[in-house]
Amino acid sequence: MKKCFYPLSAVAVIRGNSYAPGLHGNIWFVDTQKGVRVDAKIYGLPPNGMGFYGFHVHEAGSCEMPDFMSAKGHFNPDDTRHPLHAGDFPMLLATASMDATLSFVTTRFTVRDVIARSVIVHEGRDDYTSQPSGDSGRRIGCGIIQVL
């Protein structure tokens, strides 16, 4: 008998803080048979001289101003080193208009695993080396992941 597959979908609506008041966008999460497809569209990134921005799922579903520290650390249920946390994502790369689009598939979590967690955009690039979180600077954008 063939198994039925019912994909779960979620979205995080990103808003900036005082470091990036024009920052906004959406990150969609969709379960697929190959893993979770993540699609991000972010607008209004502040110039940082590099064009790369750290981007991660964080533990708590909280985006309290002014600094989004209420989101806690990276989502890391297997207690691995950075950049192997379940919540570690590829970096965002800004276009000349300071927008970014990114799509990828991950098998590090299911959509259900990240519901009610947050997505954070950082002000600088992730070095994929520094522990525990890649030294990507201040948190400038945050959104809570919610079921669609």
- Cα–Cα distance, 111 to 7 (Å, whole number): 9
pLDDT in tens, 6-58: 789 999 999 999 999 999 999 999 999 999 999 999 999 999 999 999 999 99
Number of domains in the chain: 1
Q: What is the DSSP string of the chain?
A: -PPP----EEEEEEEE-TTSTT-EEEEEEEEETTEEEEEEEEE-PPP-SS-EE-EEEESSS---TTT-GGG-SB--TT-PPTT-STTB-PPEE--TTS-EEEEEEESS--HHHHTT-EEEEESS---S-STTT----SEEEEEEEEE-
Residue 51 lies in a domain: yes
CATH number at residue 134: 2.60.40.200
Q: Which two tokens stand for residue 24?
A: 């906004």
- Cα–Cα distance, 94 to 116 (Å, whole number): 27
Residue 26 lies in a domain: no
Range of the domain at 89: 31-147
Residue 15 lies in a domain: no
Residue 135 lies in a domain: yes
What average pLDDT does this structure show over 56-63?
98
pLDDT in the model for residue 2: 61
What average pLDDT does this structure show over 138-146?
98
Say yes or no to pLDDT of 116 above 70. Answer: yes
